[in-house]
A = this chain, B = another copy of it.
């Protein structure tokens, strides 16, 4: 029997000193428990998403040095950990240091590499270069190494064989993260290891962010591979948060042990550190005890847990404890306030209502209600006087050219809408946050972000956009979940859930008359999602094709009938072009300057969905189909 400690660690990217301290603590606990093996996540020393810090030789040297310190602790325990390995023998093609994302195994003070490898560590074979990942930017893969040496990868990949003082032996198939998700890759590390060597266990170390639905998907896929190979597996992932500027990812952990039939034997809790100790019978290849699985929860629960964990961790890392939220009485700001209230003491929250003449007493009352429900600080600072001042200043300041007066700048109603929005965030909230000793939030949702239905330096501003990766229907679901499950009382006012969404920025947006946003969420949520989140991204060409075929609702997954929303093809096309123009045009310019987003979806704006500021484009096929439909 072998005792294996599975260290689901909170990895702090960019802070190797802190990570190594945590690792040392885990190692000494595992030694006390007489564990034979302890396994840490991928890149557990440097962290994973650290941007171009990978180009700092000082940082790499520091991490390598810390790896040596961990090696020195392997006197009574075998330690699996992820670290960067630096190849001193040559540079990268671009002249930078050559680095590997490596799995190190230390036993009796020595590193033990794969049987046939010339390297004393296992090099990650498959490199994700999609979504938020840019592995090839930083690391050389095993495949590149083999190509350079004029070898085939099969020459380099092989098991790591361990012998223990009790006489047990263990032949481990080493894997790093992506190496197990090899479905479309031409070279399949798991398959190759299984086909060529008898194995006792696969050990996969990962550094894999949470994505909605991913945990279940991974269990299913990983389990399927394992069952097919009939080899048990350990999967060790980290917790914590990491970011690449625009996107902040939570790491759920969900580390676990899989039996050789592919069933999930043990699962660590989500979003919590754990040092789990498992008994493994190396002769029968069976995990014996303990056994545990997390309950499966509905989507909105996963969303809520990820957001709460993400906000809490982000604020902790940045040394922040207080927030200010602008609250309008609408759903987005109410959900954000309730989210922060589920994390922070109520004394650390200040809600600010900033009405103009266009705000109804209905929404002003809802804002006040929200604050009362939370029990936090609340204040009202109107924007009307500031708007008047700006009007007056613009009226009185002459435009001069070479000393001659040449009229004035005239403010239109549309300009005044944006003046109000910017006044709220850039003047009032920013100053209030500084005076309160905290930061102010951006309460955007993903439908608004998609088409830039927000004012830059106005409601688009803030230290963090916690709900900007949620579609409007997910925001509503979260509102209900917060009330029903988290607080078990009405915190988000029912009135905010019931009213029609509106910006209330002009006389034509009178919420008491039901005049709301131009976005028809039950349709546009799903239209924008198809354009943004589909793996093979959709443009108006495909949308119009589906519309013509009558399959649009099914394809994008919306429950309204599009022909009820748009009585004619012309109305449909006008709407499609209106939003495409924004989504692929001006909204991109706004997103370039938007706050970081807590990312939960399979495609989140930022480093995950990368965008250039370009003119909106319509394909030739689109133009032809449009003419056909309009001529019918």
What is the minimal beta-carbon distance from A519 to any residue of chain B, in angstroms? 22
- Asked whether A107 is an interface residue with its Cβ less than 8 Å from the other chain, the reply is no
- Asked whether A621 is an interface residue with its Cβ less than 8 Å from the other chain, the reply is yes
Q: Which residues of B contact A372 (CB under 8 A)?
A: 402-403
Chain A positions within 8 Å of B, measured between CB atoms, are 13-17, 49-53, 55-59, 61-62, 65, 90-97, 126, 128-131, 134, 136-137, 143, 147-148, 150, 152-153, 182-187, 242-246, 317-318, 347, 350, 371-372, 375-382, 385-386, 389-390, 393-394, 397-403, 406, 409-412, 414-415, 418-419, 422-423, 425-428, 430-432, 434-436, 456-458, 461, 463, 535-539, 541-542, 588-589, 591-596, 607, 609-615, 617, 619-622
Looking at A15, A382, A411, A592, the one whose CB has the most chain B CB atoms below 10 A away is: A592
Given known contacts A134-B137, A610-B51, A62 and B432 CB-to-CB distance under 8 angstroms? no
What is the minimal beta-carbon distance from A622 to any residue of chain B, in angstroms? 8
Count this chain's copies in the assembly. Answer: 2
Q: Which residues of B contact A147 (CB under 8 A)?
A: 143, 147, 153, 186-187
A53 to B418, CA, bound (A): 30
Contact B14 A615 (CB under 8 A): yes
A614 to B11, CA, bound (A): 12
Contact B402 A431 (CB under 8 A): no
Contact B58 A93 (CB under 8 A): no
Q: Which residues of B contact A589 (CB under 8 A)?
A: 318, 463
Contact B612 A350 (CB under 8 A): no
A400 to B380, CA, bound (A): 9
Extra contacts besides A15-B617, A378-B399 (11): CB < 8 Å:
A14-B612, A14-B615, A61-B619, A90-B184, A94-B184, A95-B535, A147-B147, A242-B612, A245-B592, A410-B435, A423-B426
A310 to B345, CA, bound (A): 49
Given known contacts A137-B130, A394-B435, A55 and B619 CB-to-CB distance under 8 angstroms? no
B90, B385, B397: the one contacting A389 at CB < 8 Å is B385
Given known contacts A184-B94, A427-B427, A463-B589, A245 and B611 CB-to-CB distance under 8 angstroms? yes
Q: Which residues of B contact A55 (CB under 8 A)?
A: 535-537
A29 to B403, CA, bound (A): 51
Q: Can you offer 19 A-B residue contacts whose CB atoms are under 8 A? A: A14-B614, A58-B619, A59-B617, A62-B619, A136-B136, A143-B147, A147-B147, A147-B187, A243-B613, A245-B588, A377-B400, A379-B398, A379-B399, A379-B400, A379-B409, A385-B389, A411-B435, A415-B435, A419-B427
